[in-house]
Amino acid sequence: MHAIEVQAGEGRYLITLCGWTTEGCGICAFLTGGERPHNGGTVVANPRLKSNAKHGEDRTADLWVSGVPGHKDTEIGMPVAKHLAVALNEAVSLTSGIHIDHARPDEVKLLCDNCFAAADKFIAAYLAERAGKA
C-alpha cells in the first residue's frame, strides 16, 4: 500500500487529493482544500456495469454517503468518488473537507473544477503507475 498525492488550483483554491492504493483492491482517499481543510463526510463508491451495459467498460458506481451534520462536503465528494471508481474500476472511499468562509458561487465552481482536475491527475498517475508494473 502506498500513497499518491496530487494538487490542482492555487492559493485558497488549492485542492489536494491524497489516495492510498491497495494494489487493485480499492482506494482510500482524502480530498481537502480551501482555507480550512477538515473531515466533512465520506463517500464510498463501488463500480459496477450499468444495467443496460453494451460492453465491459460501460460502468457506473453505487454510492454510500455519510456526511458530518452541517457540512456539504459530500456534495462534491459524491461525483468525484464516482468518477474515480468508474475510471479505475475499483472501490473508492473518499473523505472530503473543503472550506472557504462566505464563498461566492464563482468560488464554489472554481473549487469544484479543481476537485475534478485533481481527480483526473490522480487517475492519470495511478494508471501510469499500474502500467509500469504490468
Residue pair 43/60 in contact by the 8 Å Cβ criterion? no
Give the confidence band of 52 by pLDDT, cuts at 50, 70, 90.
Answer: confident
The pLDDT of residue 99: 94
Give the confidence band of 116 by pLDDT, cuts at 50, 70, 90.
Answer: very high
Q: Is the pLDDT of residue 77 over 80?
A: yes
Average pLDDT of the chain, as a whole number? 94
Secondary structure string (H, E, C) spanning the chain: CEEEEEEECCHHHCEEEEEEECCCCCEEEEEEEECCCCCCEEEEEEEEECCCCCCCCCEEEEEEEEECCCCCCHHHHHHHHHHHHHHHCCCEEEEEEEECCCCCHHHHHHHHHHHHHHHHHHHHHHHHHHHHHC
Strands 92-99 and 59-67: unpaired
Q: Is the pLDDT of residue 10 over 80?
A: yes
Residue pair 6/87 in contact by the 8 Å Cβ criterion? no
CA–CA distance, 24 with 1 (Å, rounded to integer): 10
Residue pair 22/68 in contact by the 8 Å Cβ criterion? no
The pLDDT of residue 98: 97
Average pLDDT over residues 9-30: 96
What CATH class has 16-49+60-133? alpha beta
The ranges assigned to domains in the chain are 16-49+60-133
Instruction: Tell me what percent of the residues of the chain surpass a pLDDT of 90.
Output: 84
Average pLDDT over residues 75-92: 97
